[in-house]
Amino acid sequence: MGIEVCATDWSSNAEGKPFAHHFEAIDLKDKEKTLQWALEHQINGVLTAADIGVPTAAYVAEKMGLRYHSELLALRATNKYAMRQHALKIALPGPEFYCVSSDTEAIISAEKQGFPLLVKPVDSQSSRGVSVVNNKEELLLKFSEAMQASISGRVMLEEMMTGTEGSVEALVHEGKPYILGICDKIKSALPYRYDLELNYPGSYSPSQQSSIIEFVGKLVTGFEIKNGVIHIEIMVTGDKVQLIEFAVRGCGSKVITHLMPAMNAFDVMGWVIENAFQTVPAPIFRSGGAGVLKFIMLSSGRISKLHGIEAMKNSEGVLDADLERKEGDVLGVVADGRSRPGYLLALAENREALNQTVQNALNKLEVVIV
Ligand SMILES: Nc1ncnc2c1ncn2[C@@H]1O[C@H](COP(=O)(O)OP(=O)(O)O)[C@@H](O)[C@H]1O
Ligand SMILES: [Mg+2]
């Protein structure tokens, strides 16, 4: 695109480092250092793909007069308490919630709310420290796990919503959402809550679909999101749609960079990048077919045999796949999204054909665990 790229990451071995023209190991949370470096390079656009970088990107944009989300939106999109408070204010449906900073407060709050409860850090991602608890003992245990994952030292206790979970990928242009995809999800077994599968298009009835579309519109207007890419996680119960959380970045695991572009025949990230610099035309795309992101899970134990990764990747309909494990690796319990061993992205004409595509690809994989 002819853009000179300055990239930062806390790690001096960041995967993206070789792709950037300039790289500096700066913690994405470090607003001042990032600003200083951005000023040195006189950047004229800013972007981040990670929630943790959103407040910093907004700070830099504000100081340098660049096109990005406001600092207020950046806070509301990354701090689950600020998000819930504003959602309540704009009457966007969601669970009852409390924010606590000690186990004593957690117990008092749980007594008011009743069990089961969802415990999670106010400001973390990837389901880190997220659990469902059914009683006081579980609460105390999981509260401390959530606390460890919380940057600000605060934890949310939420009413546990039930229904079908889904997420929405959308581009926002001049305050208007353009939906790239809506999925339904398969989640991990309790007590953890990470994703196992995202299926597009989600199986929702026409009235559920219109509720979801209406919900997205209300969120974009109520949070005053002007431009950029958004990712919204929802709970659908009958025709009722509730907010799990949203982000002002695209869905990870290559959904926004690979699956959405393929399903919509549209250069999603090209649009997002151009939008970082200047006003762009509204995105025009035509969605079609079915797509899936499936996480490949393995049971606990030692991998004694692992074959067929390349064959799985080359299987018909597979957009991308990997299994980042090798023979001899010892696998433990997967408690959050970061330690899922592999993934598969695939496309087909419809969801039925997609199931077959996924099965065919997975059949090429031979894993023995002892
Ligand atoms: N109030 C809730 N009721 C039911 N499930 C929830 C609730 N809050 C979170 N979850 C579940 O936990 C998962 C992780 O929580 P989330 O708020 O999305 O945090 P993270 O930033 O770690 O993704 C969600 O995808 C959802 O499955
Ligand atoms: Mg989430």
Query: Does ligand 1 lie within 6 Å of residue 249's CB atom?
Result: no
For residue 357, give the 3-state DSSP assignment: helix
Closest ligand 1 atom to residue 95 Cα is 1
Query: Does ligand 1 lie within 6 Å of residue 95's CB atom?
Result: yes
pLDDT tens-digit readout, 14-63: 999 999 999 999 999 999 999 999 999 999 999 999 999 999 999 999 99
Query: Does ligand 1 lie within 6 Å of residue 357's CB atom?
Result: no
CA of 185 to the centre of ligand 2 (A): 12
Q: Any idea what the Cα angle at residue 298 is, between residues 357 and 293, rounded to 5°? A: 40
pTM summary value: 0.96
The CATH classification of domain 291-369, taken from the options 3.40.50, 3.30.160, 1.10.287, 3.90.600: 3.90.600
Closest ligand 1 atom to residue 129 Cα is 22
Test site for ligand 1: of 240, 244, 249, 293, most ligand atoms within 8 A of the Cβ: 244
Domain ranges of the chain: 6-77, 95-159, 164-288, 291-369
CA-wise closest residue to 14 among 54, 51, 60, 50? 50
d(CA 290, CA 195): 18
The residues placing their C-beta within 5 Å of ligand 2, an ion, are 233
Query: Residue 198 CA: which ligand is closest?
Result: 1
Query: Does ligand 1 lie within 6 Å of residue 118's CB atom?
Result: yes
Per-residue pLDDT of the chain (370 residues; tens, 9 = 90+): 999 999 999 999 999 999 999 999 999 999 999 999 999 999 999 999 999 999 999 999 999 999 999 999 999 999 999 999 999 999 999 999 999 999 999 999 999 999 999 999 999 988 899 999 999 999 999 999 999 999 999 999 999 999 999 999 999 999 999 999 999 999 999 888 899 999 999 999 999 999 999 999 999 999 999 999 999 999 999 999 999 999 999 999 999 999 999 999 999 999 999 999 999 999 999 989 999 999 999 999 999 999 999 999 999 999 999 999 999 999 999 988 888 999 999 999 999 999 999 999 999 999 999 9
d(CA 369, CA 17): 35
CATH tag, 164-288: 3.30.470.20
Taking CA atoms, 106 is separated from 129, 131, 192, in Å, by 15, 14, 19
Query: Residue 80 CA: which ligand is closest?
Result: 1
273: which residues sit within 8 A by CB, 6+ positions away? 1, 3, 45, 47
Closest ligand 1 atom to residue 128 Cα is 22
CATH tag, 95-159: 3.30.1490.20
